Structure 1
Amino acid sequence: MKKKTKYIDVPALISSSIKSSTVLEDFLPPPNKLVLKEDNSKMTIVLSKKSISFSKDFGISEEEFLNL
């Protein structure tokens, strides 16, 4: 069962703020200038316990560790 929405008048402060506002021009780049999403591929690696403890000891994230 749907309830009907009851609309009420907005307070004067909000109403005056909306009336005094200005419209901004579109600031987003056109679609042809947007960066397209790249295809990703998954990879599984096997690391020794020594390598994992090394990265944990020095606070190196997995992403940084792979780029060493």
Structure 2
Amino acid sequence: MKTRMKEYRAKHDLTQLDLAKVVGVRRETISFLEKGEYNPSLKMAVKISRYFGIGVEEMFLFEEDELD
């Protein structure tokens, strides 16, 4: 799964640590999410998306084969 977290963090001048504190996770979790090495829970995905004022579908981009 691809994510636009890094792009949105940059727009809001946030570090991975800043976002991790908002979401309530470790900085490493944000790093893994940004690299596509970890899929967030629905709760985490909603929390991140709401923080930036966008929908989950705009923040997290699913490939068609990932939905099968």
After TM superposition, is the score higher than 0.5?
no
What is the TM-score normalised by the length of structure 2?
0.27
Decide which structure has the larger Cα Rg and report it.
Answer: 1
The structure that is strand-richer by fraction is: 2
What is the TM-score normalised by the length of structure 1?
0.27
